[in-house]
Structure 1
Amino acid sequence: MRSQMKQLLAWFTLILSLGLMAGCSNTDEGISGDSSATLSSTGSEKSATESSSADISSESSSSEPSAAEKAGYGAVGALADSEMTIEDMLVYAIQDEHLAHGEYALVLEKFGDQNPFNNIVLSEEQHIAELTAIFEKYGFAIPADESAEHVFVPTTVKEGLENCADGEVDNIAMYNKFLELEIPEDVRMVFTSLRNASEGHLKSFQQNLEKY
């Protein structure tokens, strides 16, 4: 009897031990499963965040500059523009004449009465008046003078002469480009007149540069 009791007790202990081991195993698996799910969820959130940041970065880096940022001013803008209307040409032209007038006036203000700036600055006023008349004839809005934002500030008279000579070269090239296109005859006459005047201005600047 005692032997049977010992045997039953041994079996009971064995069964209890096995039950406890199974319970521990299930608990570990539950913890492990929850942990994996949490890590997986965190990884997904991180991946989504990184993907969103990448999309924003991609949009930022590939965004095209605005029309205002791409627009050139005066002759520089005209020479870079491959598709121009009559109004575009007139805007570029008056911008460049404003710019020339502003730069010539600046040299006179900084260095006093200087040839040929003192004479040419008056010519630029006439050029602006001629273009203004064409704007009005065709009913185009006359752009404000924004040349102050683009003028070159020379440190010497020679530097001013060099810069203005370069400006006249661009100005002449701009008008030559306009004259190769189909444009109204009255506009053609004004552009031709202004181109010819700029050729005379360029010679004056070059002659004065020979003194240095």
Structure 2
Amino acid sequence: MLKNLEIALNEALQDEYKAGETYRVVIEKFGAVRPFTNIIEAEKRHIRALLPLFRKYQLPIPINPWINKIPVPATLHKACLAGVEAEIENGEMYEKLLALSAGYGDVQQVFRNLQRASQQNHLRAFQRAAGLPINTPPLDPEQAASHGGRGTGGRKGRGFRHGQRSRTTFGHCGTGCR
């Protein structure tokens, strides 16, 4: 049972390491743009939530193998689409890890909290930034290209008129990932 716990904690930590490094390289290339600046801070908190569990169960803490090994997406929009996909995969991963960590209520509580943050906050932020409907499967790259970056909202790419501003724009230029 302890071996399953070690597998589950390692997979969770590796995923958080990878996400943090991914968002770091996006910020390095495109600047301090949201939602990446907010979510990278959340990833740091996720790592801090997992580390005490390694200590409690006397498991070795793996190093971050992702540093300087993540390719940078070509555009900010592609980075947001990748963020959507990563957060969907993150939710699925935590479902699997919850089963692996059966019998460890404290670990399962942390996993549930991290899964909830991913699905309710990070996924939605990336979907908004990418111009996707909230809580829907992401577009594959061909579908995204056919949208021409116009988004899928009710304005159908016409934007806002008469001085209206979206409450969901991101970034220093107000364009987010589009």
Give the TM-score of the pair, scaled to structure 2.
Answer: 0.69
Percent identity over the alignment?
36
Residues 183/168 of structure 1: CA separation in 2 closer, same or farther (3 Å cut): farther
Q: Is residue 207 from structure 1 mapped to residue 128 from structure 2 by the alignment? A: yes
Query: How large is the RMSD of aligned CA atoms in angstroms?
Result: 1.4
Shift of 1:162: 1.0
Q: Is residue 106 from structure 1 mapped to residue 25 from structure 2 by the alignment? A: yes
> 2 CA distance for matches of 1:132 and 1:183?
19
Runs (5+) with no aligned partner, structure 2: 132-150, 152-177
Residue 165 of structure 1 is matched in structure 2 by 84
Shift of 1:149: 6.2
Larger radius of gyration: 1
Query: How far does the alpha carbon of each residue in 1:91-138 deviate from its partner, in whole angstroms, 9 at most, with x for none?
Result: 000000000000111111100011100111000000001111100111
Q: Which has the higher helix share?
A: 1
Secondary structure of the 2:72 match is coil
Runs (5+) with no aligned partner, structure 1: 1-83
Secondary structure of the 2:67 match is helix
1:7-86 alignment runs, 5 A limit: 85-86=4-5
Residue 191 of structure 1 is matched in structure 2 by 111
| Letter of the 2:55 counterpart | E
Give the TM-score of the pair, scaled to structure 1.
Answer: 0.58
Residue 23 of structure 1 is matched in structure 2 by none
Secondary structure of the 1:132 match is helix
Query: How far does the alpha carbon of each residue in 1:159-199 deviate from its partner, in whole angstroms, 9 at most, with x for none?
Result: 11111211111111010112234230000100000000111
Residues 149/109 of structure 1: CA separation in 2 closer, same or farther (3 Å cut): closer
Name which structure has the greater RCO, CA cutoff 8 Å, separation 6+. 2
1:144-163 alignment runs, 5 A limit: 144-148=63-67, 150-163=69-82
